[in-house]
Amino acid sequence: MYQVKINYNVGSEIVTLAEAKNYIRIETDQDDLLVTNMIIQARTIIENYISSDIMPKSRSFFTDYVEESIDLSFAPVRVISSISSKGVALTSDQYEIKGLDKERIKFKEKHLEDVQVNYETIGLNDEFLRQAVLQMVSTLYDNRSDIAFESINTIPTETKNLISSYRKMFF
């Protein structure tokens, strides 16, 4: 079993408050805090769906046991800052970093316990993801009342169409 923790965000949102307000057609400042929070929520929902970071982050990966290799979630990875087993730092000659997105770590020693990897993701940023975040913010804003006919945790079909090619599957 493994766990991935966000230590802190490294970058900024790919959609600004002004862009979101323009997209939703909000002309007042009354809902600025609400829309700002919805930008964060929309990005987070999409990141979890595609299993990649849109906003770059510092992350820590923890696992009790590693047989031979691990795959870091939410890649692409910018840098791996440290790897340890049982609290002891591993040196670069004890592992190899593989994969196009530097997401796989293959260990030369088998059966490692209490492994921790600290790494930073690059984050994704293109027009399809920006549009998906805007659409998701609009959906969240339109369904902000207590009565909703559809779950706001459901990603709208058009948004799924935009982001489906980014989705990663883990086995």
The pLDDT of residue 171:
41
Looking at residue 169, its pLDDT comes to 63
Q: What confidence score (pLDDT) does residue 17 get? A: 98
pLDDT of 111 reads: 92
Question: What is the pLDDT averaged over residues 32-55?
Answer: 95
Q: What is the mean pLDDT of residues 120-142?
A: 94
Q: Is the pLDDT of residue 147 over 70?
A: no
Q: Which residues of 1-19 are buried (b: 16+ CB within 10 A; e: fewer)?
A: eeeeeeeeebeebbbebeb
Per residue in 72-101, pLDDT tens? Answer: 989 999 999 999 999 999 999 999 999 988
pTM, rounded to two decimals? 0.81
pLDDT digits (tens, 9 = 90+) for 48-68: 999 899 999 999 999 999 999
**pLDDT of res. 152:** 52
The mean of the pLDDT values for the chain is: 90
